[in-house]
Each structure stands twice: as structure tokens, then as C-alpha cells.
Structure 1
Amino acid sequence: MTETSAPEHITDPDEPAGEFDLSDPAFITDPEAGERWLGGPRPVCKGKFADGSDVWVATGYQDVRAVLSEPTFRSRPPGDSHRESMLSRGIPEDIVDMFDSTLLTMDGDDHMRVRRLVTRALSARRMLTLTPAVTAMAHRLLDDLADKPEPDLIADYAHPLAINVICEMLGVDEHYREQWREWSETLAQALRPNPEQFAPAVRGMARVTKELVEARKAEPRDDLISELVQVHEEDSDRLTDDELVALAMVLVQAGHETVRNLIALGVFTLLQHPDQLKLLKDDPSIAGRAVAELVRHTAPVKHTFRRFATEPVEIGGVTVQPGEAVQVVLAAANRDPAEFGCPADLDVTREHNPHLGFGRGAHYCLGASLALIEGEVALTALFERFPEVRLAADPAEIAPRYLLAMQRLPVHLSPETDER
């Protein structure tokens, strides 16, 4: 494996910070490179985006928080479009405009107009009412695990729980869900996409979402897509055709990918920290704090979309000029020793935990409350049902790479002595 440009910890403040290179394949796949960055320098430094373009990279907590919160930074680049970047990464030209109409790429009034349409449906209070249904779904999946000699907790638990919860809420028919999983795995490789797989996956996802929207126009149901269709039918100025399809698509994609990663990383990390797992088993009432700490420590989402300065602004000792991009690294900000005591340590009892795992500001994750509920339910149900669960593979072989999600999590559900 080639050496990445991620620098070792810098002790001399005058020493150059190096580059954070998202286009370097070794950096994407090398866990040691990620760890060096998490424990490395905090100044804003120069870097490269996945397409090779220049960015400023913010890794310190206060710098990341400022970029996410300040209105001087926006999601859209100069020219008011992500079109060129999306085309370069394999999104087909005939649907790129739709992909440029998502909440993730909107700013200002347009962003708030669309965001308000789903904020109420995904409110923390409403999400709490889903807890019994999420719990029942988790236990059904655990029932199925009991008959498997070596279940994969990603394929058999984390993924089906995450995809079924968000699809039930939105109204995605069951026969689409397995196909969506395959598309999601392809899109998860967006930092280094395979052109032969990426474009068909994007097209398929767009096609199915349009089919769902048309089906709900013809026959509304009690689901979120039907609610959005009704808003569109009543007033297309509030939600255009492209925005409707893009919003439904992003909610499905983002609503399960992050949760899948949170559950998988949570289980893997707790099994690597038996002292912390024991604390959770002994006192399930700390599950909320434990999941928040796992979000901070494992970083299911490593970084956000780039932000672009609209005027000269000083961040971390450098002046970002209008039009220049800043890449914030949530994973590094959440390990900043200036904000968190013993940041490299997993502490499921941590009380002061203002992590940025779900972002901040106008683009704060809409599904944060649901993700936390799913994570809490998934972990507590698993360890209550199978308290002796343990890994069935060498941790080094299945450990997540820095910017790639875990692919498998094989386990034994019973103690080793029971298998002899």
C-alpha cells in the first residue's frame, strides 16, 4: 500500500500541516492513515477533494463548527451548481439536475422551503412514537439470527433494520428494498466510483423513486412520500417535480446508510472494548449516552459535503477567499482534545458530549433523532438477547477502513466453551 499524505502528529506550530488528500486511494482504504489524521494536526490546511480539486480542510472542533454554522459558507459552489462535479463523478447528464436539487445541495430560502416539508414528519417527538415498532422489528431479526451458526450482523441485522425502518416510514414497497441495498453499496464508493456500476445505480435509484412517486399520486397511502406528493399536487411552487423525487431519494439513502454504519460500528467497537460493553449491559439506562458516544468515537459519517465561502472569512488562522471550498472532517473534530477529555477513549458514560456527528446549523441531519433511537434499540436488544456475542473473525480483517464502511461483521452468538 502506498504511503498517504496524512501527516504524523505535528508538534511544531510553524511546520506545514501537509495535505488531506481524499483522492488518494491509500488514504481512503488505510485505517492507519485515518488514525493519524484523527490524532494529528488541528489547523486548517490545504487538501484535495475526491475529484482532485483544491480544498481547505478543517479538522479542529471550533473550525468545523464555525464552517457548518456560519451563513458566509454555503453548499453551492460558484456558478450556483454542483453539475460539473457530479458529472465528473459519474452521474448521468440527463438526471444530474435532479441530483442537484436535493437538501444536501440547497441553500438559503430554497433549503428552508423544502426542509420545512419534512421537519415535522421527522421531529424528535414523532420519532419517539416509532420506538415500539423499531423494537419489534429488531426482535424479529434477532429471532432469525438464533438459527444461524455464524450470522453477519451487517447483512442479517444492521442493514435490514435500517432499510426497513426508513422504507416503512416513507412507503417504499418491500420488493424494492434489496435492490436499493445494492445501489447503496455502489453509491457508498462515490469517492472512487466504478463508472460501469455507478451510473446504472444512480439511474436505477432515480427510476424507482419516480415510480414510487407516480404510484402515490394514483393511490395515496399513510406514508411520507404520499404526504410530499400531496404538497406537490396542491402547490408545485413549494415542491417541484425534481425536488420531490430528489427529496424522497435522499431520505431513503441517507436514512438507512448512516444507521447501518452506526449499528455495525457500534457493535464492533463495543466488542473491542469489553469494559465499556459491561457498563452498558449492567446499566441499560445509559444507552442514550452510549450511542451518542459511539457516534462521536466511530464517526458513521466521516465528513460532510464541501462548503464554499461567499466572502473572505478567517478560519483557523487562514483566510478563505470567496468561492474557495472548505472540507470539514467530522471524525477529526469529534476527537479534538481541546473540546473532549481523552478524545481517543471510548467512554459510554461521557456526559459532556457536544459531538458534531450529525453536523450543525442549517444542514443538521433531519434524521438524527431516528438514527439515535434505532442505534439505541439495536444495541440494547442485541446484547440483552445474546449477551455472549463475540466476533467470528480477526478484528483486523473486518475493521472499517477510514472512508469505507464495514462490509461484514460475522459473529458467534454463544460463548466459546459452548461450541466445543
Structure 2
Amino acid sequence: MTDTAVPEHPHDADGPAATSGPDPFASEFDLSDPAFITDPAAGERWLSGPRPVCRGKFADGSDIWVATGYQDVRKVLGEPTLRSRPPGDSHRQSMLSRGVPEDIVDMFDSTLLTMDGADHMRVRRLVTRALSARRMQALSPAIARVAERLLDGLAAEPEPDLIAHYAHPLAIIVICELLGVDEEYREQWREWSETLAQALRPDPEQFAPAVRGMAGVTRKLIDARRAAPRDDLISELVEAQEDDSERLNDDELVALAMVLVQAGHETVRNLIALGALALLQHPDQLRLFKENPGIGDRAVAELVRHTAPVKHTFRRFATEPVEIGGVTVRPGEAVQVVLAAANRDPAEFEHPERLDLTREHNPHLGFGRGAHYCLGGSLALIEGEIALTSLFDRFPDLRPAVDPAEIAPRYLLAMQRFPVLLSPEEEK
């Protein structure tokens, strides 16, 4: 959207005569409209349609700017004057308006996702150090063992579901392994994590107990690791509390652990499920994936670009006027970026609609960019490669048990089910 096509800002126009045709600031990207979330056409419009910056609405009904073009999204993610922390108490009020209880709001009002500047760098530095390459590589054998065990279970299921019996449990087990969540709590955390995944539109009666339960267990784990450290992420972060220069208080540690659980498992769950579906829908690429294990890194990066396990980021708020894609975002206004659309922008990617596991130019934004680049991006790639390789090695004849159109995800909803057939004999 350029200044010559539309007014710089809605209230810059001199009344109805200032533009002709449809209102260019109509709220088409409307997260407050349930139909937008469940209508597949709405999502497809943002993946394949025009790429100007336009107006929209957030889940609480507030106005936002929406950026979908690759260069616009890239600028938003790297722009230092756009902050994650909403102005004033708007973040708190937004959660309260969606029915989140006040004590839960307090817990989520200042997390890594809504921190900026020195506080954000302090916490992020600690987590980055804990999520070292050594720790990630050390997890690979454990991930492979988890995958094989779950695949054994998948084969024993009378009606195997790739999400319920493989993608979801693998993702939550690995993140629990990383954090150091004891076995006795893992099934409960799995249930809580499913509830927390609905944070955009939470059911207060389910959401609040899940948050309180996970927070309570996390505090128990913090106390236990303080008394007897282990080789896990919680122990390492507790140890960092002894460093006064970068001290994390227990409330910050609890919030951080919960954010890592939610971000870490939901992204991987979606990557495995969507990646498997995409490969099954592109037999030539699936054959390439099976026959060329050396392309694993590149292949999974392309699956991230093509399937968009994370569709969009959290809002960014302007602290001063900033130009994005020909419009001026004013102080206090919010910008939402659609990663799924940016990663299919034909101005950046040749034949973006194609799944091409050999794609060489792939500067995808699937894990974001800049200060808030996904901390677990490297782990997600490792998990995705191991999970998909193990899956198709074990079940080379795997295929959907239903028409893919029945299970394909709606725009903002993850795939909920993925019934599969594991062998040719099941066709009889």
C-alpha cells in the first residue's frame, strides 16, 4: 500500500470523497471474528493475495496494522522503535477483557514475549546460554529414542492418529526433557499445554487452572533443583540466580518456563504434522526426502517456510512514528506480521507455492527475526528432522486415512487430528 493509493492514515482522509472504491482500511484480517479463524478461504487469502500493509483487528477487537509482504514483515521484526510491550496497561486490559483471571494476568503481564530492551536482553541471554549447541546436540539421541518409542505405540493403535499418538507427545516430552520436568508430571503437563495452546481465545474455566497448575509444579521443580541441581534447563537457570548481575527472580523463572513449554511444543507439534502432510501431498518431494538423508537441514527449513507452523507473531507497538510499506504507524499503534504470508511472497521466493526441498535461496522468517528470534528454532529443526525421518523410515507406506481436505488446518487453528494408515494391507 503506497501513499498515492490510499491516505497515509484513516483519519488523514477528508471524509468519504478522499478515496473511491472499497475502503482500503476495512478490517479483513480480523482475529476477533470466529469466522476468520475457522474459514479456510480467509487464511488462503492472506497467504496468496496482495501484500500491502492494511488495517485489521486483534482478538480483543482493538485496531491493528497488518503486514504480510516479506520486506515489510522483515522490517517490522527488526525495527527497534517497535516494541513487544504494549503501552500502559493495555496488555493487561486485553487479557482481562478475554476473561483471563486477574492473578493469571499478573503472571503473564511481563514475560520474555512482552519484554524489551535491557530486561529482555538479560533474560534472553540467560536462556541462550542454557540452550547451547552442546545441549541441543546432546538431546538428539534422546529425541530419536522418544520417536522410536512413540512409533511403536503408533503401530499398536487400532486407529492411529499422527498428532495424538506421535507429534504432540514427542514435542511435549522433549521440552519436558529439556526443562527437567519429572516423569510424574509429564502427562499432566501435556494436558495443561493443550489448554494453554488456546491462549488467543482462552476458556477461563480451563485456562486458569492449567496456568495455576503448571506454575505450581514449576515452583516445586525450582525448589527441588535449588536443593539438588541436575543437567537440565531449570537447574541452569536456577544457578544463574546466584549471579547478581543477571538475576532471575522466581516469578520470572516460572513465567519463562511456561513460555518455553508453550512455544517449544506447539511449534514442533505443528511442524511434524504439517510437514508430514505436505510431504504426503508431494510424492516427488517425499521420495527425495527418503532417498537423500543429507538434505535434512535444508528440507526441514523448506517445510517451515511452506507449511508455516507459526502463522504470525505477537503484536509490535510503535514508540515513535515509523513508516512500514508506505503507511505511517503512529506511537501506540500495533502492527501484526503474518509470517505465513511473508514466506510465500513471490517478490522474495521463486515459485513460493511450490514445496522444493532443494531450494537454495530460503531466507524464511518462520522463526521470526531480530531481538525476538525464536530461541528454540534450532531445536525445532532438529526435532522436525528426526521425527519425520524416523516416521517415514518406519512406515514408508504411511498415508492419510481420510481426504486431506478434512484435516487440513484452518488459518489460525492447528491441525486437530491426522488419522493415518500405516501399511498397504490396511487398504483391504
CA contact (8 A) 2:31 2:37 kept: yes
**Aligned match for 2:183, one of 165, 174, 192:** 174
Distance 2:120 2:200 in 1: 25
CA contact (8 A) 1:334 1:356 kept: yes
Q: Secondary structure at the match of 1:177?
A: helix
**Aligned match for 2:164, one of 150, 155, 177:** 155
Alignment of 1:364-403 (within 5 A): 364-403=373-412
Amino acid at match of 2:83: R
285-294 vs 205-214, which deviates more? Answer: 205-214
CA contact (8 A) 2:130 2:236 kept: no
CA contact (8 A) 1:124 1:370 kept: no
Distance 2:213 2:343 in 1: 35
Residue in 2 aligned with 1:112? 121
Are the structure 2 counterparts of residues 87 and 80 from structure 1 closer, same or farther at C-alpha, using a change threshold of 3 Å? closer
1:26 matched to 2:23? The reply is: no
Residue in 2 aligned with 1:5? none
Residue in 1 aligned with 2:209? 200
Distance 2:316 2:369 in 1: 13
Distance 1:257 1:312 in 2: 34
User: How far has the Cα of 1:17 moved from its partner?
Assistant: 6.1
Residue in 1 aligned with 2:231? 222
**Aligned match for 2:415, one of 388, 406, 413:** 406
1:320 matched to 2:329? The reply is: yes
Residue in 2 aligned with 1:250? 259
User: How far has the Cα of 1:234 moved from its partner?
Assistant: 4.6
CA contact (8 A) 2:53 2:66 kept: yes
1:139 matched to 2:157? The reply is: no
Distance 2:311 2:209 in 1: 26
Residue in 2 aligned with 1:66? 75
1:97-153 Cα distance to aligned partner (Å, 9 max, x none): 321221111001000001111102213454123222211221222222222343111
Q: Secondary structure at the match of 2:241?
A: helix
Residue in 1 aligned with 2:306? 297
User: How far has the Cα of 1:202 moved from its partner?
Assistant: 2.2
CA contact (8 A) 1:301 1:357 kept: yes
368-377 vs 164-173, which deviates more? Answer: 164-173
Are the structure 2 counterparts of residues 36 and 17 from structure 1 closer, same or farther at C-alpha, using a change threshold of 3 Å? farther
Distance 2:407 2:55 in 1: 31
1:290-347 Cα distance to aligned partner (Å, 9 max, x none): 1111111111111111000111010011000011100111111111110011111211
49-58 vs 157-166, which deviates more? Answer: 157-166
Residue in 1 aligned with 2:268? 259
Aligned CA-pair RMSD: 1.9
Q: Secondary structure at the match of 1:143?
A: helix
Distance 2:172 2:319 in 1: 37
1:355-412 Cα distance to aligned partner (Å, 9 max, x none): 0000000000000000000000000111111110111122122111110111111111
Distance 1:401 1:161 in 2: 23
Residue in 2 aligned with 1:101? 110
Are the structure 2 counterparts of residues 149 and 319 from structure 1 closer, same or farther at C-alpha, using a change threshold of 3 Å? same
1:186 matched to 2:195? The reply is: yes
Distance 2:359 2:21 in 1: 34
Aligned residues: 407
Q: Secondary structure at the match of 1:135?
A: helix
User: How far has the Cα of 1:232 moved from its partner?
Assistant: 1.9
Distance 1:137 1:202 in 2: 26
Distance 1:289 1:419 in 2: 33
Residue in 2 aligned with 1:342? 351
Distance 1:84 1:351 in 2: 45
Q: Secondary structure at the match of 2:60?
A: coil
Distance 1:124 1:58 in 2: 33
Residue in 1 aligned with 2:294? 285
Residue in 2 aligned with 1:46? 55
Structure-2-length-normalised TM-score:
0.91
Are the structure 2 counterparts of residues 42 and 14 from structure 1 closer, same or farther at C-alpha, using a change threshold of 3 Å? farther
- Give unmatched runs, 5+ long, in structure 2: 1-19
Distance 2:139 2:216 in 1: 29
Structure-1-length-normalised TM-score:
0.92
338-347 vs 85-94, which deviates more? Answer: 85-94
CA contact (8 A) 2:322 2:330 kept: yes
User: How far has the Cα of 1:418 moved from its partner?
Assistant: 5.8
CA contact (8 A) 2:73 2:339 kept: yes
CA contact (8 A) 2:147 2:170 kept: yes
Residue in 1 aligned with 2:318? 309
CA contact (8 A) 1:73 1:309 kept: yes
Distance 1:254 1:147 in 2: 30
